[in-house]
Amino acid sequence: MSISQLARSIAESPTLALNEEARLLREKGEPVINMGIGEPKNKAPITAILSSAARLSGGDIKYTPPDGTPSLKKAIIRYTEENYDKLVAPENIIVSAGAKQSLYNILYSILNPQDEVIILAPHWVSYPEMVKMVYGIPVIVTPEDGTFHPRMEDIKGAVSSYTKAIIVNSPNNPSGELFSEEFIAEIVDFCEQRKIYLIMDDIYHKLVFDGRRAPPVYRYSDKDLESSMILVVNGVSKLYGMTGFRIGWVIAPRKLVQVMNNVQAQTTSCTSIVLQAAAEGALTGLQSVVENLRLGFENNRNVIIQELRSFTGIRVKQPGGTFYCLPDFRAYCPSSIAQDSEQLARFLLKKALVVTVPGKEFGMEGYLRLSYAGTIKEITTGIERIKWALDPNSPNEIYIGDRKLIRDWL
């Protein structure tokens, strides 16, 4: 079969692959705990359901403008004003099938072949692949001080005349790190000065803990939106736990939105009018939905950190947001159990029936990403099982489902 070189070079999405593996095991009746998955477990907000149901029952389900319905855009304008203190026009907005497509459209629209995009490790798995898919070159910058917080000096050292964009995701998937206000201010200033696009992946920006707030990026720029290099990506997936509705959007200068509009019109035409209605319902409905999710994740974060801190050899930084943490499992990697995080994740799935995501995928070998989007019971049982599988100080017997298992490999 003839497959293009480019398509062949694109990696499988490891998180989706692991989810599939877990689903198959569950189907076989195995009591798998999925700490790999990146989605909240709530039901969709009622306002989203009612709004899409009204559209469906009206029966008038047709194309929308490629960049989204005027009424959804109105809701996004209000959202942007409330959360970013920025007034944008409908022409500054383009709605896509999830933040994923928004990001892909941006990269497709701004990169020439061989242009470079700076990606800050630990980073979301899809960024480098998306950059490659439009013939760009991902340049991964890892903080040299071993923290999860990027440093301007490292970024400046990686910038070349080919650098077209820097992607910033705060709070961050996979580390949960919330980047400081000073950093956001500095990177905005740097990008505006150097005419490098600053792609703010703000998909988790309201899932922030400890009374903090994600610094709203426009505050640090004195440029008019039309001449600014800031592009903000957002969506309903994490904000309202509406991952299956596939609605995301970009706020950008009008000229760029026009180009992305052409790209989208020639590829997907538009996102579904039913799902746009759902997103509008969520955005205009009661926002306590978001606060309830956030509070739940903060509580879960406290539980998982407490559990991990009593785990011999594991080091973990307390996340400032999201529903992920990225503990350092290097103490358990160069051993008889696993040489790397991928092997370790496979080992944990096989022995303990817990899904985790290897840190290698995020540019952090020796780490595992654990999601705490599940229930408290799932979190405590999941960590107990991982401890049993790895930590010789933990009891060597455990019940997984109704099977009593004995650890005989340590």
Q: Which residues, 6 or more positions from 204, have their beta carbon under 8 angstroms from its beta carbon?
A: 169, 170, 171, 172, 173, 214, 238, 321, 322
Cβ 196 to ligand PMP, closest distance in Å?
A: 20
CA distances from 389 to 65, 173, 316, 328, 351 (A): 53, 26, 18, 16, 7
**Do the bridges between strand 403-406 and strand 397-400 make them parallel or antiparallel, or are there none, so unpaired?**
antiparallel
Is 237 near ligand PMP (CB under 6 A)?
yes
* Binding track, positions 111-130, relative to ligand PMP; x by CB under 6 A: -------------x------
Q: Are 331 and 322 in contact (CB under 8 A)?
A: no
Burial of 102 from C-beta contacts in 10 A (0-12 / 13-18 / 19+): buried
Cis peptide before 171 (omega within 30 of 0): yes
Cis peptide before 334 (omega within 30 of 0): no
**Do the bridges between strand 368-371 and strand 324-325 make them parallel or antiparallel, or are there none, so unpaired?**
antiparallel
Of the listed pieces 54-62, 83-91, 98-106, 350-358, which binds ligand PMP according to CB under 6 A?
98-106
Q: Of 182-221, which residues contact ligand PMP (CB under 6 A)? A: 201, 203
Measured from the CB atom, is 238 or 385 closer to ligand PMP?
238
Cβ 204 to ligand PMP, closest distance in Å?
A: 7
Taken in order 46, 209, 13, 264, is the CA torsion positive or negative?
positive
* # binding residues, ligand PMP (CB under 6 A): 13
Measured from the CB atom, is 11 or 54 closer to ligand PMP?
11
CA-only gyration radius of the chain, Å: 22
Of the candidate residues 88, 93, 99, 188, the single one contacting ligand PMP (CB under 6 A)? 99
Q: Of 243-282, which residues contact ligand PMP (CB under 6 A)? A: 243, 248
Of the listed pieces 55-63, 94-102, 136-144, 182-190, which binds ligand PMP according to CB under 6 A?
94-102
Of the listed pieces 93-101, 351-359, 372-380, 395-403, which binds ligand PMP according to CB under 6 A?
93-101
Measured from the CB atom, is 38 or 45 closer to ligand PMP?
38
Is 319 near ligand PMP (CB under 6 A)?
no
Q: How far apart are CA 277 and CA 72, in angstroms?
A: 7
Of the candidate residues 216, 235, 319, 374, the single one contacting ligand PMP (CB under 6 A)? 235
Q: How far apart are CA 232 and CA 141, in angstroms?
A: 21
Is 69 near ligand PMP (CB under 6 A)?
no
* Binding track, positions 147-176, relative to ligand PMP; x by CB under 6 A: ----------------------x---x---
Of the listed pieces 43-51, 187-195, 235-243, 345-353, which binds ligand PMP according to CB under 6 A?
235-243
Cβ 317 to ligand PMP, closest distance in Å?
A: 18
Enumerate binding residues for ligand PMP (CB under 6 A): 38, 98-100, 124, 169, 173, 201, 203, 235, 237, 243, 248
